[in-house]
Structure 1
Amino acid sequence: MKYFAVLLPTIDAEKSAEYRSQHLDYLEKMRNDGHIFANGRFTDGSGGLVIYTAQNLEQAVRYVQNDPFVIHKARGYEIHEWDMVLPGT
């Protein structure tokens, strides 16, 4: 399993507010299905970060493109494969 850090910069604040509950429901489903390692918003209001677990980049892209924020163009996205380093490793 690989990790993918996904930046979700705000494109449209009104759409972000409108689709927030759908986005959060989607993240909860993905987390419950074991596809999210961590997620959260940026405190400056510029967007958020989701760290997905996926077999490959193509799968991670599919996850991101099914997010209501992305579908409705409330947020853009930038994906980076992430090589996590834990303390002591």
Structure 2
Amino acid sequence: MRKYLVMAMRTPAFVDSVIEPHRDFLAKLLADGALFESGKFTDGSGGAYVIFAENLTAATELVQQDPLHLTGSSELTVYEWEITVSA
């Protein structure tokens, strides 16, 4: 399993009603062992989360199920993340 960084940047179509379904999506990923961490940016522009997946294709397919993506509220970009230093 590899780690993938998901950048979720709000679009002009963002609506507050997507926040709770997005949180539910993340909670399911956490329960399934696929979510490492998540959080929002303090400037209100979006947030990021780190998931575990077998490959970039699997990570992208998983992220495309996020309500942020499905509603067009945020643009989600997935990066394979090779951690070189960690606490």
Calculate the TM-score normalised by the size of structure 2.
0.92
SS in 2 for 1:43: coil
Task: Report how far residue 69 of structure 1 moved.
Answer: 0.7
Q: What residue in structure 1 maps to residue 32 of structure 2?
A: 33
- Residue 9, structure 1, aligned to residue 26, structure 2: no
User: Higher helix fraction: Structure 1 or Structure 2?
Assistant: 1
TM-score, with normalisation over the residues of structure 1?
A: 0.90
RMSD: 1.2
Q: Structure 2: any 5+ residue segments left out of the alignment?
A: none
Identity %: 34
Figure out how many residues of one structure are paired with residues of the other and give that number.
86
Q: Which runs of 4+ in 1 moved over 4 A?
A: none
Bigger fraction of residues in strand: 2
Give the Cα–Cα distance (whole angstroms) in 2 for the partners of residues 77 and 86 of structure 1: 24
